[in-house]
């Protein structure tokens, strides 16, 4: 089956035609989607979208861009939200030192709160990392030493050293439409280095539309293009890529029942 492991269906870009977007995804063969929470102010809407559709699940979390809105965020609050029957992950969380839209110490503190929530709930952590490779690797290693948690390096575009260190900790990795971009050889090199049993695909829609839709609004209906590029990069058949990514998805997001 086609699975989009990371969609942002609560984004304002989908306000006018969300039902049509979901219908197009289903028509394209997408059987499951995980819609992501980027801030607590959006948590109710994210939850409502998942509740309204049998094939959509959701996460709870605060994106590093939004960390400044909840600088004293506690794991208990995340765990409370994650008790919802369709919550399957903690995040999107992490570090973004490229845009620095939240102060770095606040990003780190809020990220650690998410890690603790992942430990307490047993749910996987959805990690965003940009321009923060060394700090991210150090925190992941330090926190794993305090107690295990599972995590997904979403839309991986970081360097080989973070990939190596995260993979050694058991990380899963997701591939996005960036892998189809003409000048993204470094991302394709990273895809080759990912553990073959811990790779999944995502659109990160409405962002990062794959070729030939680059520059337009992305949709979950385009996930097949990402899967096809993954298969090409890894030298897998399309059927093998689909089976491998499906297995990786359910191994990580194990609160979701397999059809």
**Domain coordinates of the chain in residue numbers?**
2-252
Q: Is the pTM of this model over 0.75?
A: yes
Q: What is the mean pLDDT of residues 90-109?
A: 98
Residue 58 pLDDT greater than 90, yes or no: yes
DSSP string, 182-204: TT-HHHHHHHHHS-TTSEEE---
Q: How far apart are CA 218 and CA 206, in angstroms?
A: 4
What's the pLDDT at 259? Answer: 82
CATH topology of domain 2-252: TIM Barrel (3.20.20)
What's the pLDDT at 35? Answer: 98
Q: How far apart are CA 51 and CA 248, in angstroms?
A: 24
> Which DSSP state fits 37?
P
pLDDT in tens, 135-190: 999 999 999 999 999 999 999 999 999 999 999 999 999 999 999 999 999 999 99
Residue 248 pLDDT greater than 90, yes or no: yes
Report the phi/psi class of residue 152: left, alpha or beta, with left for phi > 0 and alpha for psi in -120 to 50.
beta
DSSP string, 116-142: HHHHHH-PPEEEEEES-HHHHHHHHHH
């Amino acid at each position: 089956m086609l699975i989009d492991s990371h969609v942002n269906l609560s984004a304002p870009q989908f306000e006018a035609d969300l039902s049509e977007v979901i219908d197009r995804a289903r028509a394209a063969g997408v059987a499951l989607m995980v819609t992501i929470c980027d801030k607590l102010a959006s948590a109710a809407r994210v939850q409502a979208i998942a509740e309204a559709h049998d094939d959509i699940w959701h996460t709870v979390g605060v994106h590093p861009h939004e960390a400044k809105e909840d600088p004293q965020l506690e794991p208990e609050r995340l765990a409370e939200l994650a008790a919802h029957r369709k919550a399957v992950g903690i995040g999107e969380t992490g570090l973004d030192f490229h845009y620095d839209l939240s102060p770095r110490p606040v990003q780190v503190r809020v990220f650690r709160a998410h890690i603790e929530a992942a430990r307490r709930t047993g749910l996987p952590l959805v990690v965003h990392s940009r321009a923060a490779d060394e700090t991210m690797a150090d925190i992941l290693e330090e926190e794993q030493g305090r107690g295990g948690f599972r995590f997904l390096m979403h839309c991986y575009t970081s360097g080989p050293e973070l990939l190596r260190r995260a993979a050694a900790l058991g990380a899963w990795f997701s591939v996005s439409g960036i892998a189809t971009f003409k000048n993204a050889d470094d991302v394709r090199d990273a895809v080759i280095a990912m553990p073959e049993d811990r790779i999944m695909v995502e659109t990160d829609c409405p962002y990062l539309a794959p070729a030939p839709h680059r520059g337009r609004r992305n949709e979950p209906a385009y996930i097949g293009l990402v899967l096809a590029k993954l298969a090409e990069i890894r030298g897998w058949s399309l059927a093998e890529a689909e089976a491998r990514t499906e297995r990786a998805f359910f191994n990580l997001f194990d609160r979701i029942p397999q059809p």
